[in-house]
Structure 1
Amino acid sequence: MAGLNKLTARQIKAAVSGDKLHDGGGLLFVAGENGGRWKFRHQIGGRRREMGLGSFPAMSLAEARRERDKWAAVKESGQDPIRERDRQRAEDMKPDRGDPTFEEMAHIAFEARKEMLRGDGERGRWFAPLRLHVIPKIGAIPVSSLTQRDIRDALQPIWRTKNATAVKAVNRTRIVLRHARLSGYDVDPFIADAAQHMLGYVAHKPTPIPATPWQDVPDLYARLCDMAGVSPLALRFAILTAVRSDGVRNARFDEIDGDVWIVPADRVKGRRGKVGDFRAPLSDEAMRIVEACRERRIGAHLFPSPRLRKGISDVALSKTLDRLGEAGRIHGFRTSFRTWVQDTGAAGYDIAETALGHVVGGKVERA
């Protein structure tokens, strides 16, 4: 059914983040930072659609081909594969399956919403607060038997010491309980609110990311120019473009179009489907950095990690700043840029916000 198989396990392992490899019959492999994702590309009513099949290496090439053949057969029968998958999932979540544990329901809720999360929720670590702090304590309890005291007891050890993480855990727990309620289980999502009330108020004062004063940026840039290696180049590029750390660290040569850097949507902050590619114009100095990277090119990335087939790590950039005695961090360069614009009047509000990739006005205004 699928035709000639084109991919090999070796090709998949050699792929770098962002690569798209076709196996035939609509099976597509999209490489990621820690593996990749399998997709089934097909057409319904003349419109091309991509259906997620699973992640690699959890799903092997052979398993992905079987999944591709399964849903291709569904399509050949005249049905919409995505609609049929959603129908089957809804059937699986009906109450007649019995009362699931909190851990089971947490995974069900995560699967239902991860399509809207960047990197299927892995990059943002959506599931981490539940996995680390909630499931070990209450994961085995049937979801309809949970009480606010169970949730309170699970989070009390970190409520004051790691409050930001604990609040995320409460919010994720609330989402899981609401999903269970809407799936027909006898659950009251309000118990998450009650648990948060019982845990008490914490005066949490956010700690801003240290930013280099804009007046000091030229001196820092000059010192970076005197340093050799990938990290100083990446930090200089971050200063010149004011793009977030993830975008800079994983910049690829195929994203450079003339003197414009097109940062793909999956590295732009925001919910999947709500953000698009970001076009960052490159100055002459930024283009000189691109050329310097091309001269030393060893892969797909402008700023490659020395040991891994991906972009340089955030830790490596922080260590470079530490060696220079610089308290500011890479994300703080965006603050440096914004305060420079504000203090000097170099540009208007709309232009400054747009340059940082912030949403300004409605769709018509942005256009």
Structure 2
Amino acid sequence: MGDQMGDRASMRNKLTAVQVKKAGDGKHYDGGGLVLVRKGGVGKWVFRYSHLGRRREMGIGSQAELTLADARRIRDQWASELAKGHDPIDSRNAQRAAERDAVSREDPTLEDMAIEAFEARKASLRGEGTRGRWMSPLDLHVIPKIGRKRMSKIHQKDIKDALSPIWRKKHPTAQKAINRIRIVFTHARLAGFDCDPFTVHAAEHMLGVVKHEPRHVPATRWQDIPDLYQALTQRGNHASCLALRWAILTVVRSMAVRGARFDEIEGDVWTVPVDRIKGHEGRVREFRVPLSAEAQAVAKLCSEFSDNLLFPGLRGTPISDVAVNKMLRSTGIEGTLHGLRTSFRTWVQDNQVCTYEVAETVLGHTIGNKVERSYARSDLLEPRRVVLDAWARFATGQDAKVVPISAGKSG
């Protein structure tokens, strides 16, 4: 009621510059919906109006920044918008959004540019970047701190400050993050935005040199493999036990093992599809794994519990890394699922079992440069079969003594 009386009074008595200057706390009406609101000695200008029967108040600026004439001019601008049937607040929000979009088109934020760079690259990443979580180092350590900064405004100190907390404590992660930032800056620069990739190089220089000693994956000694295999056999036909036995016998990576399917096995060959093979998109191909008699026996055991996945988890999805490594730890024998590959490779090396090329191909490693690979196209399936048969006999305790294999040996 008081506001309505104030409005009617304001129609008769408009404010003067002197009144505005001397105004105390309270509401001071100028007419046409313009009100000076003062509280605690501070004033602000408000435009009061009704739209579609709804009473609204729109702040148009502080008394310290706007004179009475300025406030009236802005009030008239928004009153004109109201006369057209538009809600002034909605119109202003739309205007500000358009201005932000215009700025973003000319000078995007680091977060927006990172997303754009990722979208441009993800077709070349395995699983379109989801498997390697390309954005993860940025999302965790960079974007929360400087993601809203415009590319042209980012200083090397901003990057340095964002990564300093993890530069030495979590250096591999920090290195991934700064490599991603470098890609983002290069992408932005090539897209024509105002930024300099040297900023990232300068930030890395400021962060300093880190002498990082990589931690090797714990691996079971090859001499302990027969004991481990026997322990797993005695524990029964649990999915985690069978998965570990399969991993020992085939020597493939964790993802390939845990996602193994019966329809990937034909006779004594298991073909791992490209979506479970480590490597860049377009640079990997399916991988054939010769199955020893023992590996085929494990597959037969698995078929008694499932007709889809060899090693299903509780929810019908592939068994987890955690479950398999937990089973391995329960045997009391040191090692990890991934470390079993090292066990095999060390067994080969210590006993001179086969050539370097055969051993590395068993592990699915790329051998030679691009030119060499263009001529040497064999996947060495038969030499690998001989080696994995010998490895299976050793793992199961059938051959206590390791005898070098002639197949695949040089000279």
- In 2, are the aligned partners of 1:148 and 1:194 still within 8 Å (CA)? yes
In 1, Cα distance between the equivalents of 2:374 and 2:229? 36
Instruction: Pick from 247, 263, 283 the counterpart of residue 238 of structure 1.
Output: 247
Please state if 1:155 is matched with 2:166: no
- Are the counterparts in 1 of residues 348 and 354 from structure 2 also a CA contact under 8 Å? yes
1:129 and 2:137 are equivalent in the alignment: yes
Q: Give 1:280's aligned residue.
A: 289
1:265 paired residue number: 274
1:96 Cα shift? 8.7
Specify the SS of the correspondent of 2:213: coil
Q: 1:117 aligns with which of 122, 125, 142?
A: 125
Matched with 2:362 is 355
Q: What is the RMSD of the two structures over their aligned residues, measured on CA atoms?
A: 1.6
Q: For structure 1, which runs of at least 5 residues remain unmatched after alignment?
A: 1-93
| Alignment partners' CA distance in 1, 2:127 and 2:286 | 15
Answer yes or no: is the 8 Å Cα contact 1:95–1:183 preserved in 2: no
- Aligned-residue offset at 1:325: 1.4
Residues 145-170 of structure 1 show CA distances to partners (whole Å, capped at 9, x for unaligned) of 11111100111111111111011000
- Native 8 Å contact 1:263 1:278 kept in 2: yes
1:169 to 159, 162, 177: 177
In structure 2, the residue matched to 1:294 is: 303
Q: Is the Cα–Cα contact under 8 Å of residues 116 and 272 in structure 1 kept in the other structure? A: yes
Following superposition of structure 1 onto structure 2, how do residues 1-367 of structure 1 map, counting pairs within 5 Å? 97-228=105-236, 229-297=238-306, 300-307=308-315, 309-361=316-368, 362-367=373-378
1:197 is paired with a residue whose SS is: helix
Q: CA deviation at 1:274?
A: 0.4
Determine if contact 2:329/2:335 at 8 Å carries over to the other structure: no
The offset of 1:105, in angstroms, is: 0.4
Deviation at 1:335, TM superposition (A): 0.7
**Hey, what does 2:401 align to over in structure 1?**
none
Counterpart in the other structure of 2:96: none
TM-score for both structures, normalised by structure 1: 0.72
- Structure 2 counterpart of 1:206, one-letter code: P
Q: How many Å apart are 1:95 and its aligned residue?
A: 9.6
Q: 2: distance between equivalents of 1:193 and 1:104?
A: 21
Identity %: 57
Rounded to whole Å, the distance in 1 between the matches of 2:266 and 2:198 is 51
Distance 1:296 1:310 in 2: 14
Distance 2:103 2:298 in 1: 58
Q: Give, in angstroms, the shift of residue 97 of structure 1.
A: 2.4
Taking a change above 3 Å as real, the CA distance of residues 293 and 203 of structure 1, as seen in their structure-2 partners, is same
Q: Give the Cα–Cα distance (whole angstroms) in 1 for the partners of residues 175 and 139 of structure 2.
A: 14
1:56-85 deviation per Cα after TM superposition (whole angstroms, max 9, x unaligned): xxxxxxxxxxxxxxxxxxxxxxxxxxxxxx
**4+ residue runs over 6 A deviation:** none
1:98 offset after TM fit, Å? 2.4
Asked if the contact 2:253/2:338 (under 8 Å) is kept, the reply is yes
Alignment correspondent of 1:48: none
Native 8 Å contact 1:360 1:366 kept in 2: no
For 1:191 and 1:301, how far apart are their aligned partners in 2?
Answer: 49
Give secondary structure in 2 for the equivalent of 1:333.
helix
SS of 1:185 mapped into structure 2: coil
Aligned residue identity for 1:344: N
Contact 1:109/1:176, CA 8 A, preserved across alignment: yes
State the number of aligned residues.
273
Counterpart residue type for residue 219 of structure 2: A
Paired amino acid for 2:125: L
Partner Cα separation in structure 2 for residue 345 and residue 155 of structure 1: 45
Find the aligned partners of 2:239 and 2:287 in 1 and give their Cα distance: 23
Counterparts in 2 of 1:221 and 1:96: CA distance versus 1, 3 Å: closer
* Map of 1:53 onto structure 2: none
